[in-house]
Amino acid sequence: MEDLFKKFLYTGVGLVSHNAEMLQKNLNDLIEKGKLTEEEGRKVVDDLVDDTNHKKDEFEDRLRNMVDSILRKVDLPSREEISGLKSRISELEEDLAAARAKDETTTTTKAKKKP
């Protein structure tokens, strides 16, 4: 599923990159023909970059919300939950090892005391 999202994002980045190149080419043509000043061309590009960054942030938020929604629906544990479970398992393993060591010590001591 992660691969699908990566491909989707890369496709979006590729489209934005292609559109930016085409815009730059068209702006250069307009500047050469004198229909647009270099300053106006820079402003158009700056506005496009700002708008693209804003749209990218919106898209990432929507995608993140969509993924979170899907994960909630399939009831998969979060990273935090998995991390907490790993910590709890480690604690329980330590407790079990200590209890076994105590039992072995008690058993060994009782065996030594028998006549």
Report d(CA 11, CA 15) in Å as an integer. 6
Same domain for 72 and 52: yes
Same domain for 100 and 72: no
Same domain for 110 and 54: no
Q: 84-87: which pairs have CB atoms within 8 A and are 24 or more residues apart?
A: none
Same domain for 82 and 62: no
Provide, for the chain, the percentages of residues in helix, strand and coil under a 3-state DSSP scheme, each rounded to the nearest 5: 90, 0, 10
Same domain for 62 and 13: yes
Report d(CA 78, CA 85) in Å as an integer. 11
Residues 6+ apart with CB under 8 A from 5: 63, 67
Q: What domain range includes position 107?
A: 77-115
pLDDT band at 98 (very low <50, low <70, confident <90, very high): very high
Could you read off the pLDDT of 4-58 as tens digits, one per residue? 767 777 777 777 778 778 888 888 888 888 887 888 878 887 888 888 888 888 8
Total structural domains within the chain? 2
Report d(CA 75, CA 4) in Å as an integer. 20
Residue indicated by tokens 């930016």: 20
Same domain for 55 and 26: yes
Same domain for 94 and 69: no
Same domain for 40 and 8: yes
Same domain for 3 and 49: yes
Same domain for 61 and 83: no
What local confidence, expressed as pLDDT, does residue 113 receive? 67
Same domain for 70 and 56: yes
Same domain for 58 and 4: yes
- Displacement of CA 109 from its chain's centroid (Å): 55
